[in-house]
Structure 1
Amino acid sequence: MSPILQLRDVSVSYRTAGGLVPAVHDVNFSLEQGETLGLAGESGCGKTTLAMSVLRLLPKSAVIDGEVLLDGVDVRSMTFGELRAARWASASVVFQGAMHALNPVRTIGAQIAEPIRLHSSSTGDLRKRVAELLEQVELPASRADAYPHELSGGQKQRVMIAMALACEPRLVIADEPTTALDVVVQAQILELMSRLVAERGISLMMISHDLSVLSVSCARLAVMYEGRIVEHGPSHQVMTKPEHAHSRALADAFPTVGDPAFRYTSGEGAGSALLAAKGVSVDFTDRSGNRVRAVRGVDLDVADNEIVALVGQSGSGKTTLARTLLGLQEPTGGAVHFDGSALPTSAAGLREYRKHVQLVLQDPTGALNPRHTVYEAVAEGLRIHGIEGDERELVAAALEAAELRPAEKFFPRLPHELSGGQRQRVVIAGALVLQPKVLVADEPVASLDATVRGEILALLLRLRVERGLSTLVITHDLGLAWNIADRVAVMYRGEIVEVGGVEQVLLDPQHEYTRTLLSAVPTVRRFAED
């Protein structure tokens, strides 16, 4: 039986005003029925371009050379009718970013049913088929009438998988299916996909920049770098004994909890408590008028010259606690103290306080005004707080501190002209320009690829050493906590259930929820099994 997918000398280029720009170079591999292949690489390496070429989902400016054989037929020679018949039915795609891939004004049941309507002359009882698909991805059939905004990130991703399975394809291409999901939901999605592959004999091509995620679900790994496959082999071999330098860089970018090689600290002790939550509780009122307690009696402090990681699943209350620490959310009970004094309640007092405690948001694209230059984005804080001094010199110093050099080169640039890592550095520079004592970084590397992630974490460590800057890092990534934090606080259902030194909490967890988080980390599971 011939492979379900075979790529022979496949190259992809894009037409531009200046001529053809190559994106993928001479790729060769095949995928048999029931096989799983992980395609790894940084953003911009060509992995999504290669995957989308399988169903000719690239823009018209793309030029595909070589052979892309789907069930033995070259998709480049298919008519539009043949291609339409192959999409969803022979091969389907789980697109990246489920929160943006679903239509916000249609129910999820209608969206799952759409490919069935397009590809079947006899659709039968569509509602029954949608219910079956939802059950396959472990969602109750009652969710068919829900809209995307009523679902969690993990539930939206399950809906995308149900849509991909709707027409029973033999090949599923999953593009970054776990990006921005917390560690427990990520594990659930990976286990779901592995089960569906085993039960239905589906071939799977999964794309990610995280080798550990791919190693859990895929038997083989292919690593892309600058448009080429630079390493290809069994997952365990590529993950634990990578041969190519880029494969090693990808593996090292996601620290393994417990590995001393990934444990970086300044070697200096922390000072006295600088920012502290004392018995903080936060309540909200839901749509039905019921009071919901999001944060429950939390005690947590960040000392001078210390990095604390606040870890937990999405919805555990981490961001609500952070907003309360920043004075953006008033606590229902308890109090926040900075440098020994309770937070001021006046607008002027809070403005002065926020010069000392600055926020670094998760999504740098959303954090930056698309019409403001880098200079304006960084200078805005100086103007709001009336900081005296040479504005140009202060902005340049902040950009240099965030490792954007030479700073003047970045002054006139707009956010869309920067890479994701550069945008995150601009956000950090906007905080540093005020010379704060504490950074509150909310998932600062969740949306960044492997190498850039490592660079941002190294930057936070350097700022601690050079400036004595304290940082509260909010994350669901235990590897990140192991990498840079002095202490870890574990949050579950609005409470801090465990707090202590990194080695104490992550190597000898006392609470069942901490053990659950650790068991869900792909690298921990794989190395434990080995």
Structure 2
Amino acid sequence: MTDNLMEIHDLSVEFTTENNVHRVVDNISFNIPRGKTVALVGESGSGKSVTAYSILRLLPPDTAKTPTGTIIYDNKDLLKLPIKSMRAIRGDRIAMVFQEPMTSLNPLHKISKQIGEVLYLHKGIRGKKAEQRIIELLTLVGIEKPETKLNSLPHQLSGGQRQRVMIAMALACEPELLIADEPTTALDVTIQLKILELLKELQARLGMSLLIISHDLNIVKRLAHYVFVMKDGKIIEQADCEQLFSTPQQPYTKELLAAEPTGTPSSRKLGAELLKVDDLKVWFPLPKKLLSRQQDYFRAVDGIDITLRQGETLGIVGESGSGKSSLGLAILRLLKSQGRINFQGLNIAQYSQSQMRPIRRQMQVVFQDPYGSLSPRLSIGQIIGEGLKIHHIGSREEQETAIINVLHEVGLSPDSINRYPHEFSGGQRQRIAIARALVLKPSLILLDEPTSALDRTVQKQIVELLKTLQEKYNLAYLFISHDLAVVKALSHQLLVIKSGHVVEKGSTEQLFSAPQHPYTKQLLEAAFLTPINNETTIPKEE
């Protein structure tokens, strides 16, 4: 009897359009052993997610076809099962965690209802028993005070919390196979460790198999037993994890392994003080308790000081909910705050929106999700040129010249000007977002997790691009990230935030070489620890 839970043979997947047929997975074969972790790695567009979706038959049947191949599970070919039989397997025996929880969770339903639906459909559990199981699952995936989150809607949770809810849903029925499509992309390094530890514990307890799809090779190295490298729809290399990382054979695999952002921040001499923030506070009022007159607040940012010079990068790190993004948005006056914000010699903390408008040209932002921050209805030229129009900069011809020039600056063809966001890859869309900020020639750019959703090779390119632009234009960056490898490569100074407070700050070199605060040490340990599969135990969070 085979020890494989699933066997995939000669699988091909084609997408059909009006004009042509595009083969995105091309005759691949691999097995998923019982109780083991298999990783599919490769850049965006390599066919990893399409392969995973094929297992559960989640691809649109009108446009996606499987001209060759079998997927054998429980002595049956999943590709030939009736759809009713597939529905019984999905979520029960084979479950999936998707990459983007905000689009995977129903925005109109409470999380208790969404997890409860899985329990009811597959196990017939409802009422108090279901509620107890939901609380148990939320506790299992590391959500604090889960009983207070049962009635929360997805938008009321942080990105990390939403991903943990997705994992709780997938684990609800204790499946034999869990497919995890970039399961930790949006999570902090400490939460990544906790999720990885959780998956390993469940694997040991349930004998569960894991299929991990990831561009983060640190995750793969910590968790996988076997690795399959995909490129252009084909598996070009396969090996057990230790062998692949120690002696990769293919040039493409070597390129992936060498793609970790490295180097040091810009060495250009720093200029005069550009930004000084004193005692900044962002407090959100909480609902009043019954019969209580006292107003309580959630203190997202609670008395933070910052100094930033022209040409300098300040890295801001901390876990989800620590206050990083709230701090950045408050500095740009996009969130109501208290305290002093001195920018270019002006105290802008109390400026009205009309007073802020001319200053916003000097303060730009690049968001985490380039697809969500670029209007799908506007062409690339319209997106980049919007700020020029708002600030009445130049004639139409001058604006078009500026757009073409900035596309060159960020490494995109001027032919892109009449195309739309959906026609570009994630890395290209992030370059467009950088171009939109850069075209106004700002002094300060807030970068809010600008590389977290990108492949490592693309991350490295974006970091090098940001360094080049900083050198050329003497830009100052506020760089918010949970990826400490990227922070180290780009930041001169570092600010470590926990629960709205700064716990440690100083030069990046100093904090990475000799951190003083236990929380900083915990972040660094989580980011750079690299055990191989089951040979090293991942430490528990403090």
Please, what TM-score do these two structures have when normalized by structure 2? 0.89
Residue 486 of structure 1 contacts residue 501 of structure 1 at CA under 8 Å; is this kept in 2? yes
Partner of 2:73: 70
Aligned: 1:189 with 2:195? yes
The alpha-carbon distance between structure 1 residues 320 and 110, as it changes in their structure 2 partners (threshold 3 A), is: closer
Match for 1:51: what amino acid? A
Deviation at 1:210, TM superposition (A): 0.8
Q: When the two structures are aligned, how many residues end up with a matched partner?
A: 520
Shift of 1:507: 1.8
Shift of the 174–465 alpha-carbon distance from structure 1 to 2, 3 Å rule, reads same
For 1:420-439, what aligned pairs fall within 5 Å after superposition? Answer: 420-439=426-445
Which of 340, 344, 348 is the equivalent residue of 1:343?
348
- Residue 237 of structure 1 deviates from its aligned partner by 3.2
Match of 2:322 in 1: 316
Q: Is the 8 A contact 1:39 1:221 kept in 2?
A: yes
| 1:84 matches 2:87 | yes
Q: For 2:285 and 2:17, how far apart are their aligned partners in 1?
A: 52
Query: What pairs up with 1:510-529 in 2 under 5 angstroms?
Result: 510-521=516-527, 523-526=528-531
Q: Distance in 2 between matches of 1:294 and 1:109?
A: 26
Q: 1:480 deviation in Å?
A: 0.6
Do the aligned residues in 2 keep the contact of 1:212 with 1:239 (CA within 8 Å)? no
**Percent of residue pairs identical:** 39
CA distance in 1 between counterparts of 2:352 and 2:135 reads: 53
- Work out whether residues 519 and 525 of structure 1, in 8 Å CA contact, stay in contact via their aligned partners in 2: no
Q: Sort the Cα spacing of 1:330 and 1:58 in 2 relative to 1 into closer, same or farther, 3 A.
A: closer
Match of 2:409 in 1: 401
Q: Which residue of 2 aligns with 1:287?
A: 287
Shift of 1:236: 3.0
2:13 is matched with 12
Q: Residue type matched to 1:340 in 2? A: G
What is the CA deviation profile of residues 403-452 of structure 1, one whole-angstrom value per residue up to 9, with x for unaligned ones?
212x2x12211222222222222221111111112211111112222222
Q: Report the secondary structure of 1:499's partner residue.
A: strand
Q: Secondary structure at the match of 2:69?
A: strand
Extract structure 1 runs of 4+ deviating beyond 6 A. 121-124, 527-530
Amino acid at match of 1:398: V
Say if 2:452 is the partner of 1:451.
no
Superposed, 1:127-526 pairs within 5 Å as 127-139=131-143, 142=147, 143-255=149-261, 262-288=262-288, 289-333=295-339, 335-343=340-348, 345-389=351-395, 390-405=398-413, 407=414, 409-521=415-527, 523-526=528-531
Aligned to 2:442, what secondary structure does the other structure show? Answer: coil
Cα RMSD of the aligned pairs, angstroms, is 2.5
Deviation at 1:114, TM superposition (A): 2.6
Residue aligning to 2:291:
none
Cα displacement (A) at 1:46:
0.5
- SS of 2:372's partner is helix
Structure 1 window deviating more from structure 2 (118-127 vs 85-94): it is 118-127
Bigger mean CA deviation after superposition, 76-85 or 472-481: 76-85
Normalised to the residue count of structure 1, the TM-score between the two structures is 0.91
1:107 partnered with 2:110: yes
Cα shift readout 1:227-278 (whole Å, capped 9, x = no counterpart): 11122222233334433232233333334xxxxxx22333333223222212
2:98 — aligned with what?
Answer: 95
Cα distance per residue 1:459-484 (max 9 Å; x no partner) = 10000122222212111111111112
CA distance in 1 between counterparts of 2:299 and 2:118 reads 41
Partner Cα separation in structure 1 for residue 193 and residue 44 of structure 2: 22
1:25 matched residue in structure 2? 26
Mapped to 1, the partners of 2:258 and 2:36 lie a distance apart of 26
Match of 1:117 in 2: 120
Offset of 1:131 from its aligned partner? 4.6
Deviations 1:108-128 (A, max 9, x none): 333233334333578895445
**3-state SS of paired residue (1:351):** helix
**Could you tell me which amino acid in structure 2 is paired with residue 72 of structure 1?**
N
Residues in 2 aligned to 1:281 and 1:130: alpha-carbon distance in whole angstroms: 35
DSSP 3-state at the match of 1:404:
coil
Residue range with higher mean Cα deviation, 380-389 or 205-214: 380-389
Structure 2 stretches lacking a partner, 5+ long: 289-294, 538-542
